[in-house]
Structure 1
Amino acid sequence: MARPSFLITIGATAIAGAAFFANVLPRETTPSEADLEMLLDPRLIAQNQCGREGQRRSAFFKPSFQLALASSAQASTGNADQVPLWPGLGERSFPITTASAEAQRYFDQGFALLYGFNHWEAIRSFRKAQTLDPSCALCYWGEAKAHGPNINAPMADAAATPANVAIAKAQELAEGAGEKERALIEALALRYAPGERAELDRQYADALGEAHARFPDDQDIATLYAEALMDLSPWDYWERDYKTPKPHIAKAIAAVEGVLNANPDHPGAIHLQIHMMEASAMPERAEPGADRLAGLMPGAGHLVHMPGHIYFRIGRYLDSLETNVKAVSVDEDYLAKTQGSDLYRYGYYPHNVHFVLVSAQMAGDGKTALDYARKLDALVPFEAVSTAALVQPVKVAPYYAYLEFGTDEDIANMPEPPEELPFVKGIWRYVHGVAAIRAGDVARAKAEADAIAALREDPETIALADQNLPAADILQLSELVLRARIDWHEGALDAAKTKLEEAVTLQSALAYTEPPYWYYPVEQTLGAVLLASGDAAAAADEFRAALVRHPNNAWSLYGLMKAQEAAGDETAGYTAKLLKEAAFDPGAIKLDRL
């Protein structure tokens, strides 16, 4: 079986398209309508993506985009005097040249928030530090850094002015700063000089590499260097064997692992290590750090969430579920107290909810899956889905949970998606088709499969591929699975097997994203069909293949146990033991649901 493709995408983190403007923070308290129009103009992002290979692929906004979720106070950083010192952000400090202990505290908070990818809040902290000590060079550097690109969001044109103002002020004050501070300021000034974005980012990374060579024991400079290298190819870190890092990423890994060898509790280094290793063939290399990260900065919701990226990959679904439930709670508490950025409110926060949902599905925890399916469904209305292609897989995620664990009423109550969302409507039809075949309504199931085939050919569906969403492939996969289930119901097991083998190949070719585009390993349905045909040994092989794709998932463990029992395999007892360690409800699972 072919290994799944791990071409990286930014996936669900870009919910509601907030990445366009998340870091663009004008100083006025309430931006004008014209300001908001500038911030929300999708053309800004397209202009800035030219030359950035990784993020050029993420230009997924419709030309007519107007984000309905934006409020009149969308981009305000608020009054600097009202910036709190947030609890739970750790005790790390990067000493700066200042006579103000409070300025140092706010600078350290801003630095911690940079590590937690809450750039909007980081800017507020750095600006507060500036008011406490207007001569603090690195306080202006911090703001300029936070305005820049990162692996989840490119730099919008509207961020250029505040970034340039801040870095110019840092340069003006640099003479009174220390050597390390001057090195950071000089490096960042290169990033914001006139020129082409990719080349400027490369110069910035090279300059930080020189700073790292000068100060090899400075853990924060090493971490900033690693992040700058990752920014050269966001979410695209590995050669095709997924064991060999791209040359610049090999340097990033070395820098991060050097930090962690000296200090296993560095939150920024752990965060970056998780992102680099999650799509590799060896995600377990980041497991030790993942186990520590949430406790290091328990007030940073994104960092509380991040271990889930590794836990999900290695089959620790209950741990992924638990850490994301905590992350949801942390972010809800944070967002209840402050405006936050759109990227955080409509991106990182729903991403955590999505992770709870899929982790519960894999663990077999139907109650939690359904609870969070309803929560996620409410967080992502159809109006938001229409703004950005990569929101669409997030919108359909609850549909899969209703199919796996829900009642006929849950499925019947799913609102029909609008015509302008053919991919979402196709998955909606898939769910109704599978539900129909379970009820014995073959005609309805076949009609739904035919409808999916038509939606797959819809020009709107096909166009989503140019916006980084393999929608037509996902609909083809769903159609194959539905038609295979129809064949299975009608006793045409060989035909079902052929379609499922094709579906397995198609699933293996889907781009990597977390959570995955398809909600379960198709090998487990193939295993169920083989078991129904009486070939228990071949069925067990397919269930094992499913467990390679998604280790320890309760559904495939259940299928393997049934195949082992049918074959008289004594290891069935061990599989049953593993199953009991999941949140699995045996009464909720039947072979026809695999």
Structure 2
Amino acid sequence: MYASLVRSTVALAALCVAYPIQTQASDPAHESHHGKLGTVHFEVACNEAAQREFNLAMAYYHSFVMEQMKAPLERTLQADGSCGMAHWATALASLDNPFGWPGNVSAKTLADGAELMERARKTGLKTQRERDLVDALAVFFKDTEKLNHAARAKALEAALQDVAARYPDDSEATILYSLVLSANFNPADKQYGNQLKAAKQLEAVFAKEPDHPGVTHYLIHSYDYPPLAAHGLEAARRYSKIAPAAAHAQHMPSHIFTRVGAWAESVASNTASANADGGKTWNSPHAYDYMVYAYLQMGQDRAAHLVRDGALSNPTPPDHFAAAFSYASMPARLALERGDWAAAAKLPLTPAAGAYPWAKYPQAEANNAYARALGAAALRDAEGVSAELARLQALRDRATELKLGYWVEQIGIQTDVVRGFSAARSGDVKAGIAALQAAAAREDASEKHAVTPGPLLPAREVLAKVLLDSGDAAGALREFEAVLSKEPNRLRGMAGAALAAERRDDAAKARDYTGKIARQTARADGGVDGTQLARLSVTR
């Protein structure tokens, strides 16, 4: 009976991916969005009909459903031709998800945004608050030839802070300021100053407006870090209920579930997200990547493969950074999480290189190169390693050209991991360990991006494997446990820790980790012992 239940669950998940459940779209012009997208009242000095449509548009915005904002904003202007804030909201939506900046903001977007600011002023701004909000957003579109993204994003943060201070009772001003403050975090700041300040402000609004979608959404982003994640569980469990019509609202809780290692909850969250999106936007592949990662941590490899295959079968894959990242990552995860080096070394770039604009997304394509390079290194294929290292360097150069500073560093870390692993596998273990220690320190000094549930293979986990293979069980245990402190319930980390504990005769710790693995993989694929699967993934 139990095996039948598992098979049924996997089959249902596969069907949901291949044939997403369609939901009947409501007509927001005639039907209230309350209860479907949450409760938002973003006050504008426009007539009642325009205000209603503007609220709907901003409800979409707060769940990052930017593509749905156009129609209600058009209806806002139809209802009140002097409602200039509709143009402000259009410009805000054009900037897409702030946690994807600057890669998702084009030069055309910046030029169009400046024009929209002028259009907002000419159309009509009837209060000082509206003029202040337009002036604040306008700073992001100014001096684009002179100021880089970081400078303009910081200027926007400061301008929104001023607006929030000027209107302390205006929840929407506080929420927008908190969003940009959180998105402008410094990856090297391990005190999480921006994130905690944003969270404090959002928690105060949450107490007053428990059904506001932006509050819970941005709290999840603000707590999406290993030491903070547990604080985000309440927001994670509420957001999907606040905005059931928003695919992103169904997905976002999985950011926290992933951080705390709640894999079954992550699968449920992302299945709901993919179903709500129906495969139409970048939300679906993004949800699938998180789902694949979660299934793999539970030893449910068949389900992970079905999700990947369903995602890659889309004949018109979305042209979006989050989608591209997912398409490159899912196949890589399936190989690397199981130590299937031969499969990793031969990974194709999917969707097919000739049919997808990979050149726009070097940070996504780098995941394919990284996996292939690790596979080649494990197989001691020096020529293959050299080819993929050259590719990683070219992709890093492209990311530099696109001014993707964060991703330049991440590709650099991937390059150093490959060099260290290759050296160790080729016999120079001492040099390999030194290189991997340096790469792990660089990775620890950074933070994972919201686009990914986790690194394809954490640098410190690769270091731990090399130490385990070289006979240093104590060192390996230390490093595997360091990985688990950042990535709780990570299957390979627990398997490595269990093996290392056994080899240093720490029977109690080995039993503890083995027991956790057994419980986490209790629903592993039929006929597969989850504990053995986990151990093989580390020792291959």
Same fold per superposition (TM over 0.5): yes
Give per-residue Cα distances to partners, 1:567-594, cap 9 Å, x unaligned. 2422433323322342453343334535
Distance 1:450 1:108, change over 3 A: closer
Residue 519 of structure 1: aligned partner: 456
Among 338, 350, 368, the alignment partner of 2:303 is 368
1:220 aligns with 2:172: yes
CA distance in 2, matches of 1:404, 1:190: 45
1:261 aligns with 2:207: yes
Contact 1:223 1:256 in 2 (8 A): yes
Residue 452 of structure 1: aligned partner: 388
Opposite residue 36 of structure 2, the aligned amino acid is G
Secondary structure at the aligned position of 1:117 is classed as: coil
Residue 544 of structure 1: aligned partner: 481
1:161 aligns with 2:115: yes
Give per-residue Cα distances to partners, 1:510-529, cap 9 Å, x unaligned. 66323167313344454445
Residue 331 of structure 2: aligned partner: 398
CA distance in 2, matches of 1:389, 1:466: 20
Opposite residue 222 of structure 1, the aligned amino acid is T
Distance 1:377 1:408, change over 3 A: farther
Deviates more, 1:317-326 or 1:296-305: 317-326
Contact 2:63 2:248 in 1 (8 A): yes
Among 290, 302, 309, the alignment partner of 1:355 is 290
Structure 2, gaps ≥5 residues long: 1-26, 525-529
Give per-residue Cα distances to partners, 1:534-588, cap 9 Å, x unaligned. 5544432222112123111112112222333442422433323322342453343
Residue 493 of structure 2: aligned partner: 556
Alignment of 1:390-539 (within 5 A): 391=324, 395-405=328-338, 414-415=347-348, 423=366, 426-427=369-370, 429-430=372-373, 432-433=375-376, 437=379, 445-456=381-392, 459=394, 461-467=396-402, 468=404, 469-470=407-408, 471-485=411-425, 487=427, 497=433, 500-505=436-441, 507-508=443-444, 512-514=448-450, 515=452, 518-531=455-468, 535-539=472-476
Give per-residue Cα distances to partners, 1:425-463, cap 9 Å, x unaligned. 6336336526x74xxxx5xx344234334445x545544
Contact 1:389 1:464 in 2 (8 A): no
Residue 11 of structure 2: aligned partner: none
CA distance in 2, matches of 1:552, 1:403: 17
Contact 1:208 1:221 in 2 (8 A): yes
Deviation at 1:292, TM superposition (A): 1.4
CA distance in 1, matches of 2:368, 2:168: 54
Deviation at 1:125, TM superposition (A): 1.1
Secondary structure at the aligned position of 1:196 is classed as: coil
Residue 243 of structure 2: aligned partner: 297
Opposite residue 168 of structure 1, the aligned amino acid is K
Give per-residue Cα distances to partners, 1:140-191, cap 9 Å, x unaligned. 65445445676135443124434532443232xx2xxxxxx65234422453
CA distance in 1, matches of 2:345, 2:116: 50
Deviation at 1:296, TM superposition (A): 0.8
Give per-residue Cα distances to partners, 1:11-49, cap 9 Å, x unaligned. xxxxxxxxxxxxxxxxxxxxxxxxxxxxxxxxxxxxxxx
Distance 1:552 1:115, change over 3 A: same
Distance 1:164 1:545, change over 3 A: same
Contact 2:492 2:537 in 1 (8 A): no
Give per-residue Cα distances to partners, 1:97-138, cap 9 Å, x unaligned. 6665x5554332112111112223123212223324546665
Residue 325 of structure 1: aligned partner: 271
CA distance in 1, matches of 2:196, 2:446: 25
1:580 aligns with 2:518: yes
1:115 aligns with 2:62: yes
Opposite residue 421 of structure 2, the aligned amino acid is V
Distance 1:405 1:540, change over 3 A: closer
Residue 8 of structure 2: aligned partner: none
Give per-residue Cα distances to partners, 1:371-422, cap 9 Å, x unaligned. 233344456999969xx79946852442231343598996697437869889
Deviation at 1:494, TM superposition (A): 6.1
Deviates more, 1:425-434 or 1:395-404: 425-434
Aligned length: 475
Residue 313 of structure 1: aligned partner: 259
CA distance in 2, matches of 1:278, 1:454: 33
1:570 aligns with 2:508: yes
Distance 1:475 1:413, change over 3 A: closer
Secondary structure at the aligned position of 1:298 is classed as: coil
Structure 1, gaps ≥5 residues long: 1-79, 175-180, 336-344
Deviation at 1:223, TM superposition (A): 1.2
Which protein, 1 or 2, shows the higher relative CO under an 8 Å CA cutoff with sep ≥ 6? 1
Contact 1:374 1:398 in 2 (8 A): no
Secondary structure at the aligned position of 2:507 is classed as: coil
Give per-residue Cα distances to partners, 1:63-96, cap 9 Å, x unaligned. xxxxxxxxxxxxxxxxx99898667212444566
Opposite residue 429 of structure 1, the aligned amino acid is R
1:286 aligns with 2:286: no
Q: What is the identity percentage for the equivalent residue pairs of Structure 1 and Structure 2?
A: 21
Residue 88 of structure 1: aligned partner: 36
Contact 2:114 2:142 in 1 (8 A): no
- Relative to the length of structure 2, the TM-score reads 0.72
1:243 aligns with 2:243: no
CA distance in 1, matches of 2:484, 2:297: 11
Contact 1:222 1:255 in 2 (8 A): yes
Among 110, 124, 137, the alignment partner of 1:170 is 124
Contact 2:517 2:531 in 1 (8 A): no
Distance 1:402 1:119, change over 3 A: same
CA distance in 2, matches of 1:118, 1:352: 14
Contact 2:374 2:418 in 1 (8 A): no
Contact 1:554 1:579 in 2 (8 A): yes
CA distance in 2, matches of 1:213, 1:537: 53
Distance 1:125 1:543, change over 3 A: same
Distance 1:117 1:559, change over 3 A: same
Contact 1:223 1:268 in 2 (8 A): yes
Opposite residue 400 of structure 1, the aligned amino acid is R
